[in-house]
Structure 1
Amino acid sequence: MPALTFDHVTFSWPDGSLALDDVTAAFGERRTGLVGRNGSGKSTLLKLAAGVLRPTGGRILANGEPVRIRAGHGAPLVADDRIAYLPQTLTLDTTARVADLLGAGRALDAVRAIEAGDVSPERFDEVGDDWDIEARAQAALAEAGLAPEMLDRRVGELSGGEAMLVALAGVRLAGSAITLLDEPTNNLDRDARERVYEMVRSWRGTLVVVSHDLALLELMDDTAELYEHTFTTFGGPYSAWRASLEAAQATAAQQVADAKKELAKEKRQRIELETKIARRNRAGKKKAETLPPIVANAYARRAEESAGRLRVEAREKEGSAIAALDAADRLVRDDASVVFELPDPAVAAGRRILTLGDGERQWIVQGPERVALVGPNGAGKTTLLRRILDAGDGAPPDHSALAAADDAEQRATEAIALASELHTDRVGYLAQRLDGLDEAASAFETVRAAAPHLPDAELRNRLARFLIRGDAANRPVGSLSGGERFRVAIARLLLADPPPQLLVLDEPTNNLDIDTARHLREALAAYRGAVLVVSHDQAFLDDLEPDLTLELREGALTQL
């Protein structure tokens, strides 16, 4: 029996838009990579499997029993003690403790309360059999390469990569038979990704992973795809699936070409047939003039019957050729792509945009230059960006943050922020966690706030180029997938009036499918403003070809 089964599952959003249509799927005790274009329903499928969403139709079974939710918060989210689920937007909850992110918060608090003298029955119920929860939680953190003593820190104090590693440690700690991971390597540096890969190589039970990380997808036993609301499975990792798909598409394209040739031939033969019939009719009329009427009528009747049969045969052949072409056309994918139309801020080559410095050295960004900021998880890259942007908003230099820094590394990072300066107030910032969005507002309302003078019809046309179309534009941001949230955030940024002279992008490829990430790279290459990007995606940085690469490590900036 498969561990996880989707039985004719359909899911529609409250506005009626269809996310999944009659999906039947089965996941055994193997590692499965779930792929598909942004917005295809991958995250929705995982939420349904975890019980976070309820299907509109059909049913979902875990080990033969219907999926039911047990806990509504925390991470990993555990349904029925059988399913552990790591959502894509988990790290948005910056107020949670590390212990909560591990899924150990309630049991840990109960154990500590009992040790402090609280003997209420509720506390013992919360502990259950988890009397050693603190030791096991610390061991899980250590396995992920994190400090065991960080249990009581807040998620907001962690880098995005550290928060994801904590959550993955929580998944391991849960020990569920079925595990669902949504983009687990987002924000992770190279070393952290290697730790995740090692976990996956030794994973037991059923593992379903949504990811655009090609190295991670290569560790999968199977590859499943959601495409146009339907589900298919391929036995093998991503590269084998991709090769099979490309071969199938090449065959389909050849079938289309052959079908078009056959249809053209049948149309040509039908025209030639009509010409031939017309000639025969003219010849027959001349011949009929020399024949007795009864013979001439019989001759004409036979000619009409013969022409009719030929016409029927020709129409049938042409109809078959049209049907063959239609069938071949349906096999060829016509994937819509995001159109990133970056504005032209008309930044002159010598225009100073940004100064980055550490008190001893300075790097001045002028004109449409590209700057990459790299460094390990926890080095303070996102903190540095936010300090620089806060100062650019007109806030006074935050010397208190420097004084309050816990260690020398943090003080050095704060000092870099104080020594850096923005020279423009036209800055577009894409946060790593996409946490600057109003969850209750619609996609249309979110972008409208940044472009108040754009007519509604034009705004909807622009959103359509970001594949935010029809009813999707009216859905609350909180209901969108990571890829859809990204498209809303980038649309708000790029459609802003006036256009930004500096784009600050923090891990911009985290939630993008492979094709969309390529389109973003191409658009940034043609952008006439300055770009400052933080990324662990080396392929993205290589294609961007930055003019300057700076590494932040142990509180020091170094040019690479």
Structure 2
Amino acid sequence: MADICLSDLSFTWPDGTPVFDGLDAVLTAGHIGLVGANGAGKSTLLRLVARDLLPARGSITVTGQLGYLRQDLGLAVGRRVDEVLGIAGIRKALHRIESGSGADTDFEVVGTQWDIEERAVVMLGRLGLGYLADGAQQLDRRLATLSGGETVLLGLGAQLLTEPDVLLLDEPTNNLDRAARARLYEVVAQFTGTVVVVGHDRDLLERMDTIAELRGGALRVFGGNYSDYERAVEQEQETARAAIREARSDVRKQSRELVQARIKLDRRQRYGRKMFENKREPKIIMGQRKRQAQVAAGKLRNNHLEKVEDAEERLDQAEEMLRDDREIRVDLPGTRLHPGQEVFELDGVELANGPVVSLAVRGPERLAITGRNGVGKTTLLRRITAEPPRVPWRLLPQRLDIFDEHRTVYDNVADAAPHAAPERIRAQLARFLFRGAAADVPAAALSGGERLRAALAVLLLADPAPGLLILDEPTNNLDLVSLGHLTQALAAYRGALLVVSHEQRFLDEIGVTRQLELTPAGLVE
């Protein structure tokens, strides 16, 4: 029995943008990686399956209990851990019963979940959150004391406590350090139900049994992990390229033969007119020959025209097989810093959560900051920008909260570059895939991947151009193709670069020259 069945699924956003039109798909039991370019509808599909959105037409059938970890948890920092886990009411009822003041309704609330606190504490420990406090005190912590990565793990724990049969995970490794990612990989591997993962984490996708690709409003399933999927796609593309070469050659051949046939027909017609004018045969016979020649000429011409049309149709079909994915084209500022030029310096600065750090960056250095979730990496970035660096700089925050949500993408970029001509802004936005009307969408309506692209546009098109880029988890929500182009662009950047990231492959590829780990004792080379 299929775990998720989609039948004639159709969905359109309120602004009229279509996402799915008659989508039919079946996802069977196993661990499934859902991939596709930004804007293909991956998160939208998960929201439809989770009943967060209602389709305009069609049906969705899920076998068993469903759990859903959203891309953006949207949790208020004042909430307690037990509230996020969905067990606050049960805990209160338990405590009233234990104190002797419980009512009949409390026993109904608790039901069979007398061990819910113990199960929750074990779950937090399994996800690496047990160090936050001792025992049940973990459940009383406020979200304000958790990092972004810890909040993601907590959200995963909330879903696992419901003991789902089908688990939907939307970008689950965002903001997770290496240790947290390893724990998440282990939890996913041990999950015996069906898992559908949307993400750009290559290591997680390599652990999947199946890759489902969302492309052009259709869902296609490939057996194997992400490497197997890449090989299958590349083989298809090679076949498509060969088919295009053959089809183009056939089009040229059929076009030449059509021209030759027309030349031959023109010669026959000239000869026929000459014979008719010379009246060398009886008129009735000459008329009959003329009609026969016209019929034969028509058949020959139509035959060659059909061959040309068939060849062109085969070429169109072959070209449709060839992927022409939209990819961001990042054009970074040409700012070049001199070796030794002072960018910023911290000397014995104590961060709010304890560590004392000293750090200096000079010239076009490429510095990476790593460390476990909650140690204070984002706090360090805030401290660096509290006393503005000595060169123009721009910060990409982890939460991408740099927009006026009610203004359009274009307006937000124009605010950052007030002296840039509108034509230049729109031309540059097109490089970030915000073409035409897409640049006039309010920031509040953007998806996770679109928000990152828009944030990069605001940063990189700013005036003055930044000599220092500070990037806090820049790879979150970026599809793998666009990630490759971002990597190439950052590798070509000649200013100073300060990056907080848990993606070691990304750090290696952008040419980081220094890598420091932030620990409770400070920075370690």
Mark the CA change 1:200 to 1:251 in structure 2 (over 3 Å): closer, same or farther. same
Q: 2:67 aligns with which of 65, 76, 84?
A: 84
Correspondence for 2:380: 384
Mark the CA change 1:57 to 1:441 in structure 2 (over 3 Å): closer, same or farther. farther
Q: What SS does the aligned partner of 2:21 have? A: strand
Q: What SS does the aligned partner of 1:90 have? A: coil
- Per-residue deviation at 1:362? 5.6
Q: Does 1:485 align with 2:451?
A: yes
Q: What SS does the aligned partner of 2:140 have? A: coil
Conservation of the 8 A alpha-carbon contact between 1:358 and 1:556: no
The runs of 4+ residues in structure 1 deviating greater than 6 Å are none
Conservation of the 8 A alpha-carbon contact between 2:409 and 2:454: yes
Correspondence for 1:54: 54
CA distance in 1, matches of 2:517, 2:75: 26
- Per-residue deviation at 1:7? 1.7
Correspondence for 1:331: 321
Correspondence for 1:40: 40
Correspondence for 2:189: 201
Q: What SS does the aligned partner of 1:151 have? A: helix
CA distance in 2, matches of 1:230, 1:511: 21
CA distance in 1, matches of 2:234, 2:144: 43
Letter in 1 for 2:181: R
Q: What SS does the aligned partner of 2:154 have? A: helix
Q: What SS does the aligned partner of 2:429 have? A: helix
Comparing 8-17 and 313-322, the one that deviates more: 8-17
Letter in 2 for 1:175: E
Correspondence for 1:69: none
**Paired-residue identity, %:** 44
- Per-residue deviation at 1:442? 3.9
Deviations 1:450-476 (A, max 9, x none): 234445554344323212344544444
Q: Does 1:258 align with 2:246?
A: yes
- Per-residue deviation at 1:278? 2.5
Structure 1 spans left out of the alignment, 5+ residues = 65-81, 393-421
Q: Does 1:322 align with 2:312?
A: yes
TM-score calculated relative to the size of structure 1: 0.85
Letter in 1 for 2:374: G
Alignment of 1:91-130 (within 5 A): 93-112=76-95, 119=102, 126-130=109-113
- Per-residue deviation at 1:167? 2.0
Q: What SS does the aligned partner of 2:471 have? A: strand
Mark the CA change 1:335 to 1:313 in structure 2 (over 3 Å): closer, same or farther. same
Comparing 271-280 and 511-520, the one that deviates more: 271-280
Q: 2:268 aligns with which of 255, 280, 287?
A: 280
Mark the CA change 1:4 to 1:132 in structure 2 (over 3 Å): closer, same or farther. same
Conservation of the 8 A alpha-carbon contact between 1:200 and 1:219: no
Mark the CA change 1:453 to 1:513 in structure 2 (over 3 Å): closer, same or farther. same
Q: 1:468 aligns with which of 434, 437, 443?
A: 434
Number of residues of Structure 1 aligned to a counterpart in Structure 2: 512
Conservation of the 8 A alpha-carbon contact between 1:29 and 1:204: no
Letter in 2 for 1:342: L
Aligned CA RMSD, in angstroms, stands at 2.6
Q: 2:168 aligns with which of 171, 176, 180?
A: 180
Mark the CA change 1:96 to 1:496 in structure 2 (over 3 Å): closer, same or farther. farther
- Per-residue deviation at 1:91? 6.1
CA distance in 1, matches of 2:186, 2:85: 19
Conservation of the 8 A alpha-carbon contact between 2:357 and 2:522: no
Conservation of the 8 A alpha-carbon contact between 2:93 and 2:102: no
Mark the CA change 1:258 to 1:190 in structure 2 (over 3 Å): closer, same or farther. same
Deviations 1:327-354 (A, max 9, x none): 1111111111111122234544443212
Q: Does 1:423 align with 2:390?
A: yes
Conservation of the 8 A alpha-carbon contact between 1:91 and 1:155: no
CA distance in 1, matches of 2:199, 2:222: 16
Deviations 1:164-215 (A, max 9, x none): 2222222221211221101112222222222112112221222111112222
- Per-residue deviation at 1:136? 1.4
Comparing 439-448 and 49-58, the one that deviates more: 439-448
Q: 1:519 aligns with which of 460, 477, 485?
A: 485
- Per-residue deviation at 1:3? 2.5
Correspondence for 2:2: 2
Conservation of the 8 A alpha-carbon contact between 1:140 and 1:170: no
Comparing 156-165 and 49-58, the one that deviates more: 156-165
Comparing 124-133 and 176-185, the one that deviates more: 124-133
Letter in 2 for 1:31: H
Correspondence for 2:29: 29
Q: 1:375 aligns with which of 367, 371, 383?
A: 371
Mark the CA change 1:222 to 1:11 in structure 2 (over 3 Å): closer, same or farther. same
